[in-house]
Structure 1
Amino acid sequence: MFDTVLLPIDLSQETSWSAALPAALRLVEPEGVLHVVTVVPDYGLSIVGGYFDRGHEKKLLQDVGRKLAEWVEANLPDEVEVHPHVLHGRVYEEIISAANRLEAQAIVLASHDPALSDYLIGPNAARVVRHARQSVFVVRDYKGKARR
């Protein structure tokens, strides 16, 4: 068990947390801290950002922060110390950076059936596994049911 666990989730994909959340709760010590992060991806190219209204990023990040707080309230027991974080940038880089900055001892994240074409979670999970200094637990979720 770990004192500090990082759980990256995608608020728009229940499969990113449905199996990973129970695993993270089992891994965090009773007096430990669970950091839940969601990453708003960057555009990749600056030219893309020029098509959006001024100040849209601030509004977007505030909206995602509100949704993450609602998710924490709805999905985590009161006895768990939870710190929600909204990050912005390349998904895997932000997860690794947050894990280092928060001194997480473990990262618990979801992966999907490799046959699925999920371009957000799959490749990012692989990069986190390769580059993180922490222990990384990848939880597979096949058709909504975690394998044991």
Structure 2
Amino acid sequence: MYQSILVPVDVVEKELTKKVLPHVEYLAKLSHAKVKLFHTLPVASAIVNAYSFGFEEFQDKATVQAEKWLNELINTIDLPKETLSYAIAFGNPRDEILTIADELKPDLIIIGSRRPNISTHLLGSNAAAVVRHAKTAVLVIR
């Protein structure tokens, strides 16, 4: 059914990730699918403007922290470790999720979504943007 599943996760949204993982495990086990976890680190304009003051060092530290968290997360997932991988990007989460989805062409994207609040009504959520623009099936978990 599924050969490849993309799972966008957020270091800040650990509770939401805990809700998503059982669905990932279940569907990946059923299909023997490979799972790619994906985390996007934000790039604030202030950080970019501070490039000359060590942006590369900040980027390296942020990447190391994200990799540590993703490796810890992978160790909690009840799937064969050879079927699990991760990727990290800097940028806008919805744009980066759609970009990696276009590159990897997964059969399914499983994404968590928080309960909408005023900012998501005004700005839109990452999950809503992925659902609207993805070229593959998207499963949204609340």
Do Structure 1 and Structure 2 share a fold, with TM-score over 0.5?
A: yes
Q: Which has the higher helix share?
A: 2
The unaligned stretches of length 5 or more in structure 2 are none
The 2-side partners of 1:42 and 1:115 are apart by 23
1:136 to 132, 135, 138: 138
SS of the residue corresponding to residue 4 of structure 2 reads strand
Deviations 1:69-114 (A, max 9, x none): 12211x2125251011111111011111111212211100111222
TM-score (norm 2): 0.82
Supply the RMSD in Å over aligned alpha carbons. Answer: 2.3
Q: Pairwise mapping of residues 100-111 of structure 1 onto structure 2 (< 5 A)?
A: 100-111=102-113
* Residues 1-148 of structure 1 mapped to structure 2, 5 A cutoff: 1-28=1-28, 29-43=30-44, 45=45, 47-51=46-50, 53-54=53-54, 55=56, 56-73=58-75, 75-79=76-80, 81-115=83-117, 123-140=125-142
What is the alpha-carbon distance in structure 2 between the residues aligned to residue 95 and residue 85 of structure 1?
A: 10
The answer as to whether partners of 2:20 and 2:141 remain within 8 angstroms in 1 is yes
CA positional deviation for 1:50: 2.2
1 or 2, which has the higher strand percentage?
1
Contact 1:9 / 1:36 at 8 angstroms: preserved in 2?
Answer: yes
- Identity over aligned pairs, percent: 24
Query: Which stretches in structure 1 are left out of the alignment for 5+ residues?
Result: 141-148
Work out the CA distance in 1 between the residues paired with 2:136 and 2:79: 26
Structure 1-normalised TM-score? Answer: 0.79
| Amino acid in structure 2 at the alignment position of 1:114 | P
